[in-house]
Structure 1
Amino acid sequence: MYFYDLQKKAFLVEGLHQIPTTAKAVTEKEFNLLIDGRNKGREIVLMGNTLTLTSPRPSQAHEWNGREWVISQDKQAEFFNQKKEALIRRIANKTDRLKDSILVAYPQAEIDSFYRQEKEALTKKANPNAETPMLSSIALSRGVSLDNLVDKVLAKAELFASIMGNVIGQRQKFEDRTLSAETLEQLTDIEIEVDKWQLSI
């Protein structure tokens, strides 16, 4: 036979635990239902004289008033600000993942060379006699002309800049909306949009 101790919020087993007089008897079927509900984020409460489950607790700042989850104004403001901070971190993380998805086909050593390649390519375009040690070595190893490689490097750099410009602008737009949001519903709408956010190529 199972019992539920409302003060300790714990299940007790007859013959194994000392059962207080205030504990409520629970059948095995009820025990399984209550345990399953608690594992899914719901709370076990007494309604009338019956143990039942609440809806999932919206946050640690919410308290059960006997009928529903409520939150005080002080805690509501704190919770709202925490949600904003978490959403801004989520936006930043999504930005990084989108950037990484562009570069996924390149080894880190090559990624580290992009700035130097672009710099040499721009210098070569401005001055045909300029020294381009990295690009010259790459062109020789690949068996392509230096001029052709310069054009490819500049085209790739321009495409990457365009894509990242779009990503950065969208991140800043999401962040601006988050900082100016006044309701949880607005933050939820932004969360949904961030989850759906994809590259525009």
Structure 2
Amino acid sequence: MNQYYYSKEKKTFFHSSVHAKEQMTADAIEISDEQHEKLLSAINKGCIVFDDLTISEPKPSEFHKWDGEKWIEDIESKKTYITNKNEELKNSLLNEVNQNIQMIKRLVKYNFATDDEKERLESLEIYSIQLSRLDTSIEDMEIPTKP
């Protein structure tokens, strides 16, 4: 008969149809199909499986860590993530506006620019300055309106 086993040390499952006893860790304990389903589901939801096979509440967010008793928010990790994402957005917007600025500057340089394009150049340059001054550490960073 096929049987599931759970290793507390390795936090992994073994199945007798796939793993020989020698391949399993010494701490692997036999569990029922029902326990396997419950534990696997809990792990996939971000829960911690304890030594007595009870489970924690699901991890509230990717910015939480288990402190041995409860989930705590890792503020630094969250700040770093927010700053990095905002920097990516800011740089992407700056690259886009700078490409537009360069094209219009060429039009101006060679006297091909219309009055509307000259006005657009000024508004794009102001927009790029506003973008460059964004504080990317703010979670709800306010992005200026694109001209």
Using a 3 Å threshold, how does the CA distance of structure 1 residues 97 and 21 change in structure 2: closer, same or farther? closer
| Whole-Å separation in 2 of the counterparts to 1:39 and 1:28 | 16
2:42–2:58 CA contact under 8 A, matched in 1: no
Give the structure-1-normalised TM-score.
Answer: 0.52
| Whole-Å separation in 1 of the counterparts to 2:25 and 2:84 | 47
2:104–2:118 CA contact under 8 A, matched in 1: no
1:45–1:54 CA contact under 8 A, matched in 2: no
Q: Deviations over 1:79-120 (max 9, x none)?
A: 72x5544433222211133346658xxxx6x764333334x3
Give the structure-2-normalised TM-score.
Answer: 0.66
Q: Deviations over 1:153-181 (max 9, x none)?
A: 32111121232233233x1xx24xx3xxx
Secondary structure in structure 1 of the residue aligned to 2:55: strand
Using a 3 Å threshold, how does the CA distance of structure 1 residues 60 and 6 change in structure 2: closer, same or farther? farther
> Structure 1: where are the runs of 5+ without partners?
121-133, 139-148, 179-189
2:64–2:71 CA contact under 8 A, matched in 1: no
Matched AA of 2:70: E
1:4–1:10 CA contact under 8 A, matched in 2: yes
Name the % identity. 15
Q: Quote the residue 2:40 is aligned against.
A: 35
Shift, 1:61, TM fit: 9.2
> Structure 2: where are the runs of 5+ without partners?
none
Using a 3 Å threshold, how does the CA distance of structure 1 residues 157 and 9 change in structure 2: closer, same or farther? same
Check if 1:94 corresponds to 2:94. Answer: no
Secondary structure in structure 2 of the residue aligned to 1:11: strand
**How many residues are matched?**
141
| Whole-Å separation in 1 of the counterparts to 2:26 and 2:49 | 18
Matched AA of 1:9: K
| Whole-Å separation in 2 of the counterparts to 1:60 and 1:155 | 45
Tell me how large the CA RMSD over aligned residues is.
Answer: 3.6
Check if 1:167 corresponds to 2:131. Answer: yes
Which of the residues 50, 55, 63 maps onto 1:52? 55
Q: Quote the residue 2:104 is aligned against.
A: 114
Using a 3 Å threshold, how does the CA distance of structure 1 residues 28 and 102 change in structure 2: closer, same or farther? farther
Q: Which has the larger radius of gyration?
A: 1
